[in-house]
Structure 1
Amino acid sequence: MSTPPAAPPAPRHRAVAAAVARGLVSPGAPVAGLLDIAGIRRSAAELRAGFEDFAEPGTPVLHAFAVKAASLVPVLRLLAREGLGCEVASPGELALARAAGVPPSRTVLDSPAKTPAELREALALGIAVNADSFGELARLDALTGSAPSASPLGLRVNPQLGGGSIGAMSTATDSSKFGVPLRDEGARDQVVRAFLDRPWLTRLHVHVGSQGMALELMADGVRVLYELAEEINEKAGRTQVTTLDIGGGLPVNFASDEVSPTYHAYARLLHATVPGLFDGRYGLVTEFGRSLLAKHGVVLARVEYTKSAGGRRIAVTHAGAQVATRTVFAPDSWPVRVAAYDAQGRPKAGEPVVQDVAGPCCFAGDLVARDRALPLLEPGDHVALLDTGAYYFSTHFAYNSLPRPGVYGYAPGPDGAPRWATVRAPQEMDELVAESGGAHADALTRLGDPAAPER
């Protein structure tokens, strides 16, 4: 099954030109995030269809979007309208999901460090919880007592299958901090016993990893989960495990506009590797994030200055570590494509010139591209960091107290021209000051004044 490019150049070019014309990116607002709403809807539909093609009719499937990938309330509400729920890993992410109107029944709480307060809130709301350790199971014992919980409760396991090409994204290594390690001595038997001792434990969860992971390794992790569920149910003499949460982590192709791999290809591999997964005996939960949004977002930034140093051309822009944190600090693992546009937002022509694309942060390594062949960039031009709809502008790194950029969604109007909506307004300076303790400016100096009242 082939899939057309998620963000073909022509619509992207129209969006960039329109964003510049509208002043969404301007001398006063030199960087912004742009989201292709039609593209996001398309990805959500492809995810649903990919699993529907293999699941028996009537199989309960919840696609819970990993909120960490785009912690923006309008995005979560859009995905909810497209039939998705939310996977949250903190009180803040839960608050965003609730603000987006995502019901508790379509919300899953995962985290290796849930506090008693977080667990109590989730249990009170009826949100599904995946415990990450035996210690957390003991905490749930104390919180639930003998009374049945309205929350579906499960346990995350680590199949310890190994890592991918990016160590930080590999969650199924021997010493991963996530889940119960199944291959440690006695651990599998302890997991089975934990279920038999807790009739209310009805879910199993696995997440092998994210970007840089081979699909075959991800499918093997799901196979291990399925076989564990079968073992528990056999020893329980009943269907105790009713739902399998198979995580997300579908890799994204950052080298071109092609969407690869597709959800359909992954579902087909799962069907071949774990045929029983889709036979209707288990409900399914997925937790995809990056793969739903990456192709549908662009960081657009003005070029402020250009210079030469040591024979190298450098374009200094307003897109650096604050919006492309992983790319700046781990460029080999997280390279991005850069497209050049002129002052009016039109694709820039000209012979490619090898140059660096630098950000505004005050450290030497703040580069989003090194030795990149692009049409010669000049002050007032624009650069677009492609495939950045997930994590980049939605997960801001506040280095140098740089304000969070505005984020805008676009969709084609009746005439084909982009129509716009504000997803997140640019952060104002007074908001930044307030966030940095502006209301408590005298707090520390008062400590040295014995006459000053304590606050």
Structure 2
Amino acid sequence: MTGPQPTTLQSPERRELILRAAVREGLLDPEHAQLAGFVDLDAVAATVDSLHRAFRGPGEVLHTFAAKANCLVPVLERLRGLGMGCEVASPGEFAQALAAGFEPERIVYDSPAKTRSELCRALDLGVAINIDNWQELARIDEILADRAPDEVRSRIGVRVNPQVGGGSIGAMSTATAHSKFGITLADEGNAERLVAAFRDRPWLTWLHCHVGSQGCPLDLMAEGVAAAAGFAEKVNSELGRRQVVGLDIGGGLPVNFDSDLVSPGYDAYVARLRTHAPALFSGEFRLVTEFGRSVLAKAGFTAAYVEYTKNSGGRPIALTFAGVQVATRTVFAPDSWPLRISAHDATGTEKHGGPVVQDIAGPACFAGDLVAEARPLPLLEPGDIVALLDTGAYYTSTPFGYNSLLEPAVHGATVAADGTVRFSLLRRAQTVEDLLARTGG
């Protein structure tokens, strides 16, 4: 019996089609647009469709997009049109979600440090809230003290930490023994105190957990969700009523950065959830998910011109406009966040020369600004283009302001049946005037 099979969203031929069209239309230009991000909107739609199909079942499911993964308002608008809600973790992301047109009841507010005013606004609008800690629970008690239970429109839950362990990237693992997120289930007295909290608060009706993302194996993620589901059943059993009505199981599906294959897919994750936490699919609980990187990463790429080339210590170096400002994690943690890179000539056509080991460097003024080191590629020359693959999430949408490097434009692309590529502007390029205004000039 075979399990879910990996699929592809983008082929090298499709990327080349988009890249060549971008060059022809001047969206990439060696003098005026040396760097740009691209999101294949058709691929995004296909991913969202696969997410909805994977979780199809008897219960109600709201799939929210983790805005941190790509907070550009036109991207959020597109995801809303595909039937998704939005998960936010800051006042800025909250504002972006509202600007994108998400209805408050389809927004989830997560953050380990919400101010009183943030909480009041979310409650006034009817936005779902996941409480992170005991002090935040007490704060919400104070806010709701003068409100009748039927006046509370928000879905309010508690984030629990199932403490099931971490994956291969510590910074991406949020269910470790000492994680900064949520209320720990295994620490002495917490389970009993949480049951009492639910008993005393008719408005407290959800549980939330998130085990981690990149580097976390599916079984570990499913075990964490199972622990939260088991605790929900414990609360309902001890209270003798259906107090916990919903489970927010977070997101975190890891992304394959090694090839064009989408692996694992949502169907593979759901298969693990059905094994570890069958209660999720019984119809007993409403569900919310918060996927981010897995929705967009493989639908995007970042393209940059090669400005200069040189040899250092016998190894070629290509100096490009794509560096730490758009590939921050890759530059600072290359072992955890390696990127595939494709080489193209000035028209966007992929180069096919024999592989030459070379470094791909960015424009920032520190030695570690490398997006690839000792990478075998066709020998790059000035005027060529490099494409950083699988960068539809984070990367160009959340640039790092090192050296005051300007934020690049980000474009959406769709491809018609006849191969015609149409672009839409998702974020315009930052200008020097924009930069000066932001920095008090």
TMscore range, shorter length: over 0.9
Equivalent in 26, 40, 43 of residue 39 of structure 1: 43
Task: Give the drift of 1:177.
Answer: 0.3
Distance 1:113 1:208 in 2: 19
Q: Does 1:415 align with 2:410?
A: no
Bigger shift: 156-165 or 145-154?
Answer: 145-154
Distance 2:7 2:168 in 1: 27
1:449 match: none
1:452 match: none
Structure 1 residue identity aligned to 2:85: G
1:244 match: 247
Structure 1 residue identity aligned to 2:161: N
- Structure 2 counterpart SS, 1:373: strand
Distance 1:135 1:48 in 2: 36
**What percent of counterpart residues are identical?**
57
Deviations 1:176-233 (A, max 9, x none): 0000011111111111111111111000000000000010000000110011000111
1:50 match: 54
- Structure 2 counterpart SS, 1:194: helix
Equivalent in 171, 174, 178 of residue 171 of structure 1: 174
State the Cα RMSD in Å.
0.8
- Structure 1 counterpart SS, 2:7: coil
Distance 2:391 2:330 in 1: 10
Structure 2 residue identity aligned to 1:137: L
2:162 match: 159
Distance 2:355 2:377 in 1: 4
Distance 1:239 1:132 in 2: 22
1:334 match: 337
1:451 match: none
2:67 match: 67
Task: Give the drift of 1:414.
Answer: 4.8
Bigger shift: 160-169 or 190-199?
Answer: 190-199
Distance 1:262 1:403 in 2: 35
Q: How many residues align?
A: 434
1:287 match: 290
Distance 2:419 2:351 in 1: 22
Map 1:181-196; keep pairs closer than 5 Å.
Answer: 181-196=184-199
Structure 2 residue identity aligned to 1:41: A
1:117 match: 117
Maintained 8 Å contact 2:225/2:277: yes
Maintained 8 Å contact 2:7/2:263: no
Task: Give the drift of 1:3.
Answer: 4.1
Map 1:183-262; keep pairs closer than 5 Å.
Answer: 183-262=186-265
Q: Does 1:83 align with 2:45?
A: no
Maintained 8 Å contact 2:70/2:397: yes
Deviations 1:91-110 (A, max 9, x none): 10011111110100110000
Deviations 1:16-74 (A, max 9, x none): 1111111111121110000101000000000000000xx22xx1100010000001111
Distance 2:295 2:289 in 1: 12
2:141 match: 141
1:371 match: 374
Task: Give the drift of 1:415.
Answer: 2.4
- Structure 2 counterpart SS, 1:393: helix
Structure 1 residue identity aligned to 2:118: E
- Structure 2 counterpart SS, 1:230: helix
Equivalent in 430, 433, 439 of residue 430 of structure 1: 433
Structure 1 residue identity aligned to 2:433: D
Structure 2 residue identity aligned to 1:435: R
Q: Which runs of 5+ in 2 are unaligned?
A: none
Deviations 1:297-347 (A, max 9, x none): 000000000001111110000000000000000000000000000011100
Deviations 1:158-180 (A, max 9, x none): 01111100000000011100000
Q: Which runs of 5+ in 1 are unaligned?
A: 439-455
1:348 match: 351
Structure 2 residue identity aligned to 1:142: E
2:308 match: 305
1:392 match: 395
Distance 1:366 1:413 in 2: 37
Distance 2:303 2:117 in 1: 40
Distance 2:388 2:170 in 1: 24
1:127 match: 127
- Structure 2 counterpart SS, 1:287: strand
1:14 match: 17
Distance 2:169 2:417 in 1: 43
Distance 1:169 1:13 in 2: 32
Maintained 8 Å contact 2:323/2:370: yes
Maintained 8 Å contact 2:229/2:247: yes
Distance 1:336 1:293 in 2: 15
1:30 match: 34
Equivalent in 402, 405, 408 of residue 402 of structure 1: 405
Distance 1:193 1:322 in 2: 48
Q: Runs (4+) of structure 1 moved beyond 6 Å? A: none
- Structure 2 counterpart SS, 1:252: coil
Distance 1:195 1:321 in 2: 46
Distance 2:193 2:374 in 1: 53
The TM-score with structure 1 as length reference comes to: 0.94
- Structure 2 counterpart SS, 1:316: strand
Maintained 8 Å contact 2:6/2:264: no
The TM-score with structure 2 as length reference comes to: 0.97
Task: Give the drift of 1:2.
Answer: 2.3
Structure 2 residue identity aligned to 1:269: R
Deviations 1:343-366 (A, max 9, x none): 111001211100000000111000
